[in-house]
Amino acid sequence: MASRRSELGVRLAIGAALGAAKALSPLDVTALRRLGVVTGDLAWRLDGRSARVTRTNIDLVYADRDPAWRRRLVRESLRHTAMTLTEAVALWTWPLPRVASLLRNVEGDHRLRPGTLVIAPHFGNWEYIGYFLNTVAPLTALYQRPASAALDRALATARGRFGTRSAADSIGGLRRIVRALQTGGLVIVLPDQVPRGGAGVMAPCFGQPALTMSLVSRLLQRVDANVVIGAVTRVEGGFSLGFEATVDAVRDADPEISARAINAAIETIVARDPAQYQWEYKRFRSAERPGLY
């Protein structure tokens, strides 16, 4: 009974969110981002879970920086995270030509050959990369299936309007992305989510031990795919996309070596604008630091 009530609550929340998105759809991206700033500032003042985890992670990673600088970064990060939510109005409701108009620049797209695995961290608005990649080749996205079936369907529908096919983080999902790569499609993986169960290894990230998915290493032992690092940077009036080559270590059969290389690539991207990174994942909790969060 409690589970049914919870699912009903999710459905009602989804309906309300879709109604709000339709009401806000006439706004341009600048106005949507202003709304995100207001929402992020509210999250900062309320000091809820997102703010606390963001602050803990930033204090760990930038312990050598001035406390006032770290506080500013926490607030700016929460603003950018909120912008990702408010920009969803554009990505999930605007006609596709209007979504296309948000693209300001692309670098390295020549690296997107058939059968390419794109590793993209939670930087800028990573959802926009799905729109662009579908203009290159059919895209399959690996994702963590939420507990709510209603939310799972809503996310699949929203991303599917670009043509993206979803593959859950399961044995069946792994088979699906292997097939996608073997048949010349593109696959995107967000490598900085906290993996479930035993699907991860500890590898350094920003000088801290971080739980990192081992799926990329396992996947590349099964299929000889081209691999690139992708990032979407929030710029004035839209987004700039970049695709960069990876080091050979990403392909290593040892998942720890592969994870180290992936985390190093994430560090390079985040260093360009730390505020645009989503610092809300509890990546630095470990057996040695179980009470970190």
DSSP annotation string for the chain: -HHHHHHHHHHHHHHHHHHHHHHHTTS-HHHHHHHHHHHHHHHHHHT-HHHHHHHHHHHHHTTTS-HHHHHHHHHHHHHHHHHHHHHHHHHHHS-HHHHHTTEEEEESGGG--SSEEEE--SBS-THHHHHHHHTTS-EEEEEPPPS-HHHHHHHHHHHHTTTPEEEESSHHHHHHHHHHHHTT-EEEE-TTS---TTSEEEEEETTEEEEEE-HHHHHHHH---EEEEEEEEEETTEEEEEEEE--GGGG-SSHHHHHHHHHHHHHHHHHT-GGGB-TTS-TT--TT-TT--
pLDDT reported for residue 168:
85
Predicted confidence at residue 287, as pLDDT, reads 66
Q: Specify the pLDDT at position 10.
A: 65
How confident is the model at residue 149, as a pLDDT? 77
Structural domain includes residue 138: yes
The pLDDT assigned to 145 comes to: 76
* Nearest C-alpha neighbor of 58 from the set 285, 274, 289: 274
Rounded to whole angstroms, the Cα distance separating 247 from 261 reads 7
Place of tokens 């801290």: 208
Domain-located, residue 102: yes
Residue 31: inside a domain: yes
* In-domain check, residue 288: no
pLDDT at 171: 83
- Domain assignment of residue 13, yes or no: yes
For the chain, what is the domain count?
1
**pLDDT recorded at residue 4:** 67
Q: List the domain range (segments joined by +) for residue 74.
A: 2-276
> Could you give the dihedral angle defined by the CA atoms of residues 171, 116, 242 and 205, in that order, rounded to the nearest 10 degrees?
40
In a domain, 128, yes or no: yes
- Read off the pTM: 0.92
Q: Which residues of the chain have a pLDDT value below 50?
A: none
Give the pLDDT confidence score for residue 155 in this predicted structure.
Answer: 74
Evaluate whether residue 224 is within a structural domain: yes
In a domain, 293, yes or no: no
